[in-house]
Amino acid sequence: METPFPSDGLVATHPFVDLHVHVRLNGGEDYDSLEQAALVGGFSTLVLQPNTKPPIETHEVLEHHLSLSRGRRVEFLYAVSPFGELEGEGERVVGFSTDGIEYDYPRLVETMKKKKKKDVLWFDHSQCYELDGIFYEGTPLPFPKRPRSNEAIAVLRTVFTGLEYGFSRFHVQHVTTTFSLDVISFLKGIARVSCEVTPHHLFFCYEDIKNSNFKVNPPLGSSEDKRALVEAVRRGLIDVLASDHAPHPEKPQDFEKAPYGSSSIEIAFSVYYTVLGDLELVFEKMTKAPLEVLGRGGALSPDNLVFVDPKAEYVVDVKKFKSKGRNSMFDGVKLKGRVVALKLHGEWVMLDGEVLPHQERRLQG
């Protein structure tokens, strides 16, 4: 295949698909900056989470987002909040998501009971919010802590409640602890359950926390959790590599005041390749596996390709991010493997970290 760049040593695959991304609006990450960041990261398709301000839980807010993201080069899909008037289907709606929305057990039961549309995907940020704690037990910092088992209990609570009230398809978001892996392993035997992990939970543990950019929800686990997550990706218990790209232009240094989240869509592939060192595995879990969760096929086409250089190494510099989110715990970290070019719908859209203008004739491959 003819490429507008030297392709020796590069490897091409289906563009990446991210099941877990946040857009902010209101002066934060908007659709322009998020699209640019996604193109640099090698992504064609993103599933946006509903915890925007206001949340995506009414037809009016959903329509606002749909209108902002229509006709773009990146495909924006939506997992909408189940706690409002929306049902989990419609134009570019792929299901419900509880991500970033605080709820308790009674509200979960009431919501699952009353939703009419049950044969849709339920993306779950699994957390028992009844219990405070910004970090996990064991974290060497003097702040409120929650048990590492909190998430596992919430996973079980969601899936069992969902099954009882007629839901059948669950995707557990950003799994973090050995407890959750045990529960998911059990649940996979009795229900349609998939799960994902984030770049930061595979790379860091709570001993690594240096500043408020390391404050994420769910929090970083122990080194044992981290090892178990890597192992679970390798043996297939963890289906999908997502980014949980949660951009903030700047975070206060105060751990208690800082919002949760780390920006990572531009470097997600490199983090995963650095940790796992297996190109085929990373490709599968960033393309085929997330497409399968969405119930889509992912046939390889010469019109849609991402090229990566597995040998390249670089040091992350958040100042170079296209994202407005400068809150990355990977700033200054050396990574292996780089996304070099992206072609979408037959057009080269990104080359060497720069987004190309629409219809750039001289670079048509």
Instruction: List the catalytic residues.
Output: 244
The residue among 125 and 288 lying less far from Zn ion, judged by its C-beta, is 125
- Token pair for 328: 């990355």
Applying CB under 5 A, which residues contact Zn ion? 99, 125
The residue among 54 and 310 lying less far from Zn ion, judged by its C-beta, is 54
The distance of Cα 191 from the centroid of its chain, to the nearest Å, equals 23
The residue among 104 and 317 lying less far from Zn ion, judged by its C-beta, is 104
For residues 72 and 31, the answer to whether their CB atoms sit within 8 Å is yes
The least CB distance from residue 310 to Zn ion, in Å, is 30
The least CB distance from residue 123 to Zn ion, in Å, is 9
Peptide bond before 218: cis, by omega within 30 degrees of 0? yes
The residue among 29 and 99 lying less far from Zn ion, judged by its C-beta, is 99
Please, what is the angle between helix 268-276 and helix 223-234, to 10°?
Answer: 90
Instruction: Indicate if the alpha-carbon torsion angle 244, 250, 253, 258 is positive or negative.
Output: negative
The least CB distance from residue 214 to Zn ion, in Å, is 16
Helix (H, G, I), strand (E, B) or coil at 186: helix
Peptide bond before 54: cis, by omega within 30 degrees of 0? yes
The residue among 245 and 288 lying less far from Zn ion, judged by its C-beta, is 245
Please give the helix or strand (H or E) that residue 334 lies within, else none: strand 334-344
- The DSSP code sequence of 242-303 is ---B---S---S-TTTSPS-B--TTTHHHHHHHHH--HHHHHHHHTHHHHHHTT-----BTT
The least CB distance from residue 18 to Zn ion, in Å, is 13
Helix (H, G, I), strand (E, B) or coil at 219: coil
Give the bridge partners for 351, in sequence order.
Answer: 341, 354
The least CB distance from residue 162 to Zn ion, in Å, is 17
The least CB distance from residue 20 to Zn ion, in Å, is 7
Report the alpha-carbon distance of residue 182 to residue 339 in Å, rounded: 34
The residue among 60 and 132 lying less far from Zn ion, judged by its C-beta, is 132
The residue among 45 and 243 lying less far from Zn ion, judged by its C-beta, is 243
Helix (H, G, I), strand (E, B) or coil at 150: helix
Q: How many CB atoms lie within 10 A of CB 19?
A: 30
Give the bridge partners for 50, in sequence order.
Answer: none
Task: Count how many residues are written for the chain.
Answer: 365
The least CB distance from residue 105 to Zn ion, in Å, is 18
- The DSSP code sequence of 30-72 is -HHHHHHHHHHHTEEEEEE-S-SSS-S-SHHHHHHHHHHHTT-
